Amino acid sequence: MRLVLLGAPGSGKGTQAALLAEELDIPAISTGEMLREAVAAATPLGEKIKQVMSSGDLVDDATMGEVVRDRLAKEDARGGFILDGYPRTLAQADQLAEILVGMEAELDGVLYLEVPEAVLMERILGRQRADDKEDVIRQRLLVYRRQTQPLVEYFEQRGQLLPIDGDRLIEQITVALLEALGRKVGE
């Protein structure tokens, strides 16, 4: 299965990506993981990313496309994958479509964790990380709504969006995600 996992910061994407990866026996691939792997490989692309990241800038869409293309070409992703944190923008969604065409593959679904903003705030503040201050969180959610929320409509128009209520217990969310894919836990 080739999947994208969408959801706001605090929606539980990382947790669910790991659980789904185990259930479906495919890699969960996060944006951060892809960037760290590219830098560690010390390729020209990795060096470029290292410079961008060390300056504090965000990696541009074109470079992210290269990173994703390289990562999805690896052996462990040939049988499927779960992308967590990519795409984040409409431009990246178009890039992903091009990458998949090049692989002669298609997305099997885009799992969208829907969680009310008040719950997101409560979850993130509960983590008590240094950068999890209320004003910072509100800004992150604002950026998410502006850049990533349009992806919901993008994938919905393509008939790929599978919305899931993400405001419940972790195990219940996992079961709902698997059911949306026509699977059951342990299958």
Residues classed as catalytic: 13, 88, 127, 129, 140
Cα–Cα distance list, 177 to 25, 98, 103, 164 (Å): 15, 26, 25, 7
The residue whose two tokens read 């669910």 is: 16
- DSSP per residue over 11-52, as a string? S-HHHHHHHHHHHHTS-EEEHHHHHHHHHHTT-HHHHHHHHH
Cα–Cα distance list, 61 to 116, 117, 133, 163, 166 (Å): 28, 27, 28, 25, 28
Q: Which of 63, 64, 2 has the alpha carbon at shortest distance from 27?
A: 2
The residue whose two tokens read 């961008």 is: 52
Q: How far apart are CA 47 and CA 37, in angstroms?
A: 11
Q: Which residue intervals of 41-158 are DSSP H helices?
A: 44-54, 61-72, 90-102, 117-127, 134-143, 149-157
